[in-house]
Chains A and B, each alone.
Chain A
Amino acid sequence: MTVAYIALGTIFGFILSRSGAADYDFIQGMFLFTNLQLYGIIGVAVVVGAPGIWLLRRRGRTLLGAPLSIELKPLHRGNVAGSILFGVGWSICGMCPGPILVNIGEGKLYALAALAGALIGAGAFGSLYSRLQGVFALPPLSHEGHEFHEGRNSFNPS
């Protein structure tokens, strides 16, 4: 399975690289409305993905016959606050998370600094989770996503 995930990631990375989704100029063009390529890519991915997800949910099984369950993301104040920060960062770097890695693969040296920043940012968030929880009404760790279904985690951050 590991090979399958690497293969899917490679195809995904190749598409991001060649479509402009990992290109600084295309990202600025999207936000300046001088190039609409990225809106087209995201739009088609969502419009094609939606009926596909609906059909797979109806099927209810993975390829290997295991139950298909989608881990839903929680709604909280962090959705808006975090997305504002992320949107600013996306514009500054001209990369969202996937393209940071794609740009590193392409040999764009500055992308290493974006990755270092992103990891430190994510590390800071996780380390401060218990303090941010109240401010943004974030879910308790033990009830988050499919960890809840797995029922094996008893961590309480406070």
Chain B
Amino acid sequence: MRLILHDLQPMHWYIAGIGIAGITLALLLLASRRLSVSSGFDDICSLVLASPYFRRTALLSGRSWRLPLLVGLILGGFLSALLGGGWEPTWALGIFDRAIGLGPGGKLAWMFGGGLLIGFGTRLAGGCTAGHGIFGMANFERPSIISTITFVLAGIVTTQVVYGLIFPVVGAQ
């Protein structure tokens, strides 16, 4: 199976896994930082919202490292596209295009709806795939183990309903 991005061959999973573990450990060794991405959504919100939740010291003091990390994630994606065949804006969405086939407007609505669940859900859960799934699991934290099992199961059920029942796909691999 190839990537949607320029039909590239993906790197091996164990190399990616070791690389992500390396980033996690580098953040911890460098400045006692816990790998987290979804907390960065709070940081961005705190730039414009003033409710007590967005005025916590822990949040405001984390901006100085979480916001640069988020900028880096965008840069990493940009460089990946650039070096992998050139950067260009695209609407390509793999099996979504084949099985569901909505146009740009439909995709924006679909993604916006999913994004709402991601933003609200990760903040309610206290973390995402990074903070709970990688760091929390690797640190054997109970809330993270419970959360990770739950969001993976919820993802499985949703995709099975969407692509298994409503828009069946053949050859998803």
Name A residues whose Cβ lies closer than 8 Å to a Cβ of B. 1-32, 34-35, 37-38, 40-50, 52-53, 56, 62-64, 66-76, 78-98, 100-127, 129-130, 132, 136, 141, 144-147, 150, 152-153, 155-157
Contact = CB atoms under 8 A, between A and B. Distances in A.
A47 B111 CA distance: 32
A28 B168 CA distance: 12
Contacts, number: 524
Contacts of B96: 24, 94
Contacts of B112: 113-114, 116-117
Given A28-B159, A32-B163, A50 B139 contact: yes
Interface residues of B, number: 131
Q: Is the interface of A mostly helix, strand, loop or mixed?
A: helix
A118 B32 contact: no
B56 A123 contact: no
Given A122-B120, A150-B57, A62 B29 contact: yes
Contacts of A153: 56-58
B121 A126 contact: no
Interface of B: 1, 3-5, 8, 10-11, 13-21, 23-32, 34, 37-38, 40-42, 44-45, 49, 51-59, 61, 64-65, 68-81, 84, 87-96, 104, 107-144, 146-148, 150-160, 162-164, 169, 172-173
A51 to B, nearest CB: 9
Contacts of A121: 41, 115-121, 123
A83 B16 CA distance: 24
A146 B147 CA distance: 21
Given A13-B73, A87-B154, A37 B123 contact: no
B109 A18 contact: no
A76 B158 CA distance: 24
B134 A42 contact: yes
Contacts of B71: 6, 9
B111 A111 contact: yes
Given A45-B21, A117-B111, A85 B131 contact: no
Contacts of A147: 56-59
A126 B47 CA distance: 13
Given A84-B151, A117-B111, 5 more contacts: A92-B162, A106-B80, A108-B91, A121-B120, A157-B53
Contacts of A141: 52-53, 56
